[in-house]
Amino acid sequence: MSLPIAFVAVVLIWSTTPLAIKWSALGAGFGFAVFGRMAIGVVLCALLLVVMRIRMPWHRSARLTYAVGGLSVFCAMTLTYWAAQYVSSGMVSVLFGLTPLITGVGASYWLKEKSFTWNKVGGILLALLGLTLIFRHNLTLGPHAFTGIVAVLGAVTAQSLGLVWMKRIADQSSSVALNLGALAFALPLFTMTWFWSDGHVPVEMPARAAIAIAYLGLFGSVIGFVLYFYMIKHMEAGRVALITLITPVLALLLGHGMDNEAVPLNAWLGTAGILAGLSLHQWGQLGRVWLLSKFSGHT
């Protein structure tokens, strides 16, 4: 599969998940919602493995990837679902914008990636500023704000370091198999979380919640995660982490286009800041080299 197509597909899927996560917990509770999503993901991914006739690898690097991926998914998803009770979606989006910075620290130390060149750090900070501008009116805090913020930061750290660790393992097994192994590893943990939160099966679940759980199981936990594992194998960790800066903007624009939600001026300015930051991150070094060559040519 083309890496740009995989990247765009993950951005599109992850852009729709915030609203789906919110709907999935309505009348079901966050514990059952996330458990149901992952259980559906395990079943569908296992069926996909059978249909594609892919053998499940059990060598050491594959088993280690299952464990690291499963723990990363469990920590990131559980902490995010739980924290959403106490902090706004805007605050969650801004805090997840720190993912490229935390990933960059890990990638620089573990993978020797050049994650802290002037253009990459400057681009991330500019994009993070744009993200803050977009959600500046939605950075409300609940009654347990500090606990919620700490939980989101824990989720961001788990996702970032899990990404770097899986990249370091560099297992070349099928992305479908790696995703199934990670989900299967995490499912018992999600089951325990569900029982810890309330342990009840909803008697009457709203149709919107059921559809959202099914959607997240198929697109979020199977297609999105499979492509995510694929990108981890073939892209720098720092570039994969940039998804978290793009998805909030696209989610906002999707809400505008599909639900007639108003998009204020600060949202457009923030979007411009994010695009400028991403451009600086990707091509800033080329611009610097070009300017130096021009300057040297005139001296």
pLDDT digits (tens, 9 = 90+) for 4-59: 899 989 988 888 877 787 778 777 777 888 899 999 999 999 999 999 999 999 99
| Residue ranges making up the domain that contains 167 | 3-297
Query: 225 vs 2, 34, 85, 90, 131, CA distance in Å?
Result: 16, 15, 25, 23, 24
Per 3-state DSSP, what percentage of the chain is helix, strand, and coil (rounded to 5)? 80, 0, 20
| Contact present, 122 and 280 (Cβ < 8 Å) | yes
Q: Each residue of 159-217: pLDDT tens digit?
A: 999 999 999 998 999 999 999 999 999 999 999 999 888 778 877 888 888 898 999 99
Count up the domains in the chain and report the number: 1
Pure H helices in 3-29: 3-24
Compute the Cα dihedral for 5, 10, 13, 14 and give only its sign: negative
| Contact present, 10 and 224 (Cβ < 8 Å) | yes
Q: Is the pLDDT of residue 289 over 50?
A: no
Residue 276: which residues within 8 A CB-CB, separation 6 or more?
126, 127, 130
Q: Please tell me the predicted confidence (pLDDT) of residue 139.
A: 61
Taking every pair of Cα atoms in the chain, the longest distance, rounded to a whole number of angstroms, is 78
Q: What is the pTM of this model?
A: 0.83
More confident residue, 279 or 156: 156
Residue that has been written with the tokens 């995660």 in this structure: 225
